[in-house]
Structure 1
Amino acid sequence: MTATPGQPDSPSVPRAHRPGRPASSRTPGRPLRDALTLMALPLVAALALPAAFAGGGTRRWFGGRAENQRAEAQAAKDAAAAAFYELDTAQRDLRISIETITAVDDSPAARRAVADFDALGRRIDEVSHRYIDAVDAHDLDRDDLEASAASRARAELTAAREELGRVKQELDRFTDGLGPLLGKAETQLARLAPAVERARQALLAASDALDSVRASGLRADDLAARLAALSPELTRLNQGAGQHGVPQTLERAERVSREAEAVRVEAERLPDRAAEIDHRLVSLRTRAQALTTRSEQVEPTLSELRRRFTAACWQDLQHVPDSAAENVRRAEAKLAEAQTARGAQRWADATALLSTVRALLNSTDEAVSAAGDRLHRLNAVQKDPQQEIDRTRFAIRDAQRLAMAGRNTPDPRHARPLDDAVARLDRAVAGLEGRHPDYWHFLTETEAVRRAVAGVVSAIREERGAGH
């Protein structure tokens, strides 16, 4: 739809230039511009024309009936023009809503809405053509307008107004149905500008943090490369959603914000990270030296174990001196590599190497400690095995009391493993008899018995807890 006849503020556009209306349908004779101008003539002026004639005008007088029909036709024409204008305004507003939806949403529902709007637009064009044809077909200002012609004009213009009104109702129903789609689109559009601005600010903050770090003497080449990789994304953000789409621009802005923020955080942490790596280098180097000293004590410990206890008590520790020395040697080599990476400011490499050094030293520490701990425990049980026996029997009796709580007879699922634990402990105690008892076997057996008993206790408590 285009300019609206009968509206004072609407431009008078020749019909031949109106989009969507074929020029071949124009009525020859007086231009439509005159018709549109006369449509704006107030009804009072039209009714006053007989008085003007009486005062010396040129219009012929045809009697009261013809003038009444002319006035009614003019009123119908004005009402049709108002309906046309109202429909045109509603269509323009709806087109803005459709354009908002299509800018954001490419879902099937949005595509259906666009197709339905196009179909409705064709329907609007049809009734608009019929309205314009009705206006062009009747010159209500003719001096010799007959009553019958005015009556036909009134009927056709009234029918055009009613048809325009029906289409306006269809348009209103369609507009109401667009509510969810339009609300979603407007929400995304409202998020767009702030999201893009956040992305720009995040990039600026990351750049400032990187400049500050470099000013302190740290290169941060990897962070600079990550920030440089975001430059094309900033270019796309600046090109706007019109070129790349609203959903894509929103996603890009949020991703740029996240990545730029990560660069900023890492850049601000970099001085602390460098200091932490320096501290770990010193700490791990000191620990490696201490482990070297401690590992030298493993061999005397093994010698005492060999001299005082059976082979089963120490055979699994035979490899400790050699493996400890090898692990310390490898740890020191990795420390040297980490120092080189730190000097080159390859922070990730330095951190990974220091983690490897720590793992090597942890395993060495455990192995070296195991030899001394073995000797200590064997000395204790050799001196007084009864303490270990009593500890294990107490665990068994405690589990037996729990199994009998509230029962006359224990549940076989609990009684059987507890009976097995008693028998296993008795066998372990019996193994201490003889000239060269295997104390390590005794210790591992009592530990295994206590673990089995703890499992029974845990099962009983879980079952009773579930029962409550």
Structure 2
Amino acid sequence: MRANQYDAAVAGRWSGRFFGESRDEDEAMRRARETMTAAFLDLDGRQRIAESSVAASNRLYPDKGIHRQWQSVRDGCYEVGSRYVATCDDADSGRATVTDLDATTRALIDAAHLVDEFYGSHRAHLEHAASLLDAIPRIAVEAQSAADAACRSAVGPYAGYSSVRAGVAAIDEASLLLAGAGAQDDIRRVRDAAARLNDAVAELGSALAAAPDRERQARNALSSVTTRIAAVRNRAADLGPAYSSILREFNAASSDDLVGNDRESVRLIEQSEVLFAEAQAALAAGDPDLASELTARVRATLVDAEGLVDAVTDRLRLLRDVRTDPRAKVDAVRFRLRDAQLLAVNSGLAVEWGSALDAQVDRIERAVDRLAGTHPDYWAYITELDAVSSFVAGIVQRMRGQSATP
């Protein structure tokens, strides 16, 4: 018997069944019937509490599967409830004995125990779900009230700040989502939209709290970046002569990856100047947030430009250093290789790593050969030795990891 059928059947017999009004029942039947009715009412109360909590869980956390686990327990309650109704009918017609009533009472008590076991197994979750379901409408109202107050507080001298405008826009969007979820009675969406609205309120609050100091910060940042632009522009003046020196003094391949650095660095410096002008305009228009954002882009653009300049000037310096003392670099790599070979022997890993390390000796010799002849290729010498050094470092790291493993 399903829930609606069951409730209808019980409702039709309610007054006559609870108090055993059959005049022909003896005292034992009366007491048995009262006990059975009490067990039924106890089960009904427990079932309703559990059912309500399970429904809350299913609305808020359907993926948890509590409703599916509850179905067998609920069906058992419906079954024993139908048995109670049938026993009452039998008692009214004189077909039921005290033994029949006692048996139904025990079945009702057993079903109540199953409800308790189920509820106890999931108590924390069920109580949380029921409490949250009851609280969500209130939480939604409070969230919207806080949002309205936050938007009112944004009206003032900082209303034009980008961070404040973005905060108000985020609140408007979250408010619309909350209203839509409420209109559709989608409790999970109401919960999520209320949380999103609260987050937006907090973001706007942070923006308003920071607003009084934003203009000073933006002005100071613009002042410092002015000096930075001039410094990078001055450093860029060294790029052309340095590139020419590489071409003149070293193998042509030593600068292949640096072609175009001069043009690109100039373009980036000019771009930073455009962004700087936009930042000044934003500050003058009363939006220090936008001014700060543009100033940060100026700095990032200058970093890229400076990297292009440094790539050329650092390359020239490195090539000249190696040309002056080529043995210093190869000796350092040979030392690292010998140290790695010693580690392999001492760690008992020579069989696994020895051949790979030994092969680096030939790579080192090939790198040294790059310096032979009238036009030594110092850049190939450097890159090959750096590759050997990196390869050896990787093996050393793996050997140390193996040694540390019990």
Identify the TM-score tier after normalising by the shorter chain: 0.7 to 0.9
Residue 414 (structure 1) shift: 3.6
1: CA distance between counterparts of 2:286 and 2:72?
60
- Partner of residue 370 from structure 1, selected from 311, 322, 326: 311
**CA contact under 8 A between 1:131 and 1:161: conserved in structure 2?**
no
1: CA distance between counterparts of 2:100 and 2:106?
10
**Structure 2 counterpart of 1:297, one-letter code:** D
Q: 1:77 to 1:222 in 2, by over 3 A?
A: farther
- Partner of residue 305 from structure 1, selected from 239, 246, 252: 246
- Partner of residue 122 from structure 1, selected from 71, 82, 89: 82
Matched, 1:293 2:242: no
Partner residue, 2:337: 396
**CA contact under 8 A between 1:331 and 1:357: conserved in structure 2?**
yes
Q: 1:460 to 1:79 in 2, by over 3 A?
A: closer
2: CA distance between counterparts of 1:229 and 1:127?
59
Partner residue, 1:228: 172
Q: Larger % of helix: which?
A: 2
Greater C-alpha radius of gyration: 1
Q: Deviations over 1:199-242 (max 9, x none)?
A: 55455445444443444523534433433344467669989xxx
Matched, 1:269 2:199: no
**CA contact under 8 A between 1:339 and 1:350: conserved in structure 2?**
no
Q: 1:317 to 1:189 in 2, by over 3 A?
A: closer
Matched, 1:320 2:261: yes
Partner residue, 1:141: none
**CA contact under 8 A between 2:370 and 2:376: conserved in structure 1?**
yes
Q: Secondary structure at the match of 1:175?
A: helix
Q: With structure 2 as the length reference, what TM-score do the two structures score?
A: 0.73
- Partner of residue 98 from structure 1, selected from 41, 47, 57: 47
Q: 1:130 to 1:218 in 2, by over 3 A?
A: same
- Partner of residue 101 from structure 2, selected from 164, 175, 193: 164
1: CA distance between counterparts of 2:396 and 2:50?
65
Q: 1:109 to 1:374 in 2, by over 3 A?
A: closer
Matched, 1:429 2:378: no
Q: 1:431 to 1:229 in 2, by over 3 A?
A: closer
- Partner of residue 29 from structure 2, selected from 52, 77, 80: 80
Q: With structure 1 as the length reference, what TM-score do the two structures score?
A: 0.64
- Partner of residue 173 from structure 1, selected from 110, 114, 123: 110
2: CA distance between counterparts of 1:406 and 1:84?
85
Q: 1:171 to 1:435 in 2, by over 3 A?
A: same
2: CA distance between counterparts of 1:406 and 1:121?
75
1: CA distance between counterparts of 2:270 and 2:99?
98
Partner residue, 1:61: none
Root-mean-square deviation (CA, aligned residues, Å) is 4.1
Partner residue, 1:4: none
Task: Could you tell me which runs of 5 or more consecutive residues in structure 1 were left unpaired when the two chains were aligned.
Answer: 1-17, 27-34, 40-72, 135-155
**CA contact under 8 A between 1:317 and 1:371: conserved in structure 2?**
yes
Partner residue, 1:455: 394
Q: 1:190 to 1:318 in 2, by over 3 A?
A: closer
2: CA distance between counterparts of 1:444 and 1:237?
62
**Structure 2 counterpart of 1:99, one-letter code:** R
1: CA distance between counterparts of 2:353 and 2:258?
37
**CA contact under 8 A between 2:232 and 2:306: conserved in structure 1?**
yes
Residue 122 (structure 1) shift: 3.2
**CA contact under 8 A between 1:428 and 1:445: conserved in structure 2?**
yes
Matched, 1:20 2:12: yes
Task: Work out the percentage of aligned pairs sharing the same amino acid.
Answer: 25
Residue 358 (structure 1) shift: 4.9
Residue 297 (structure 1) shift: 1.9
**Structure 2 counterpart of 1:367, one-letter code:** L
Q: Secondary structure at the match of 2:12?
A: coil
**CA contact under 8 A between 1:200 and 1:234: conserved in structure 2?**
no
Matched, 1:385 2:326: yes
Residue 368 (structure 1) shift: 0.6
1: CA distance between counterparts of 2:397 and 2:74?
66
Task: Could you tell me which runs of 5 or more consecutive residues in structure 2 were left unpaired when the two chains were aligned.
Answer: 1-9, 59-66
Residue 376 (structure 1) shift: 1.6
Residue 369 (structure 1) shift: 0.7
Q: 1:160 to 1:236 in 2, by over 3 A?
A: farther
Residue 312 (structure 1) shift: 2.9
1: CA distance between counterparts of 2:278 and 2:29?
90
Q: Secondary structure at the match of 1:178?
A: helix
Equivalences, count: 370
**CA contact under 8 A between 2:222 and 2:295: conserved in structure 1?**
yes
2: CA distance between counterparts of 1:464 and 1:114?
60
Residue 109 (structure 1) shift: 4.1
**Structure 1 counterpart of 2:107, one-letter code:** E
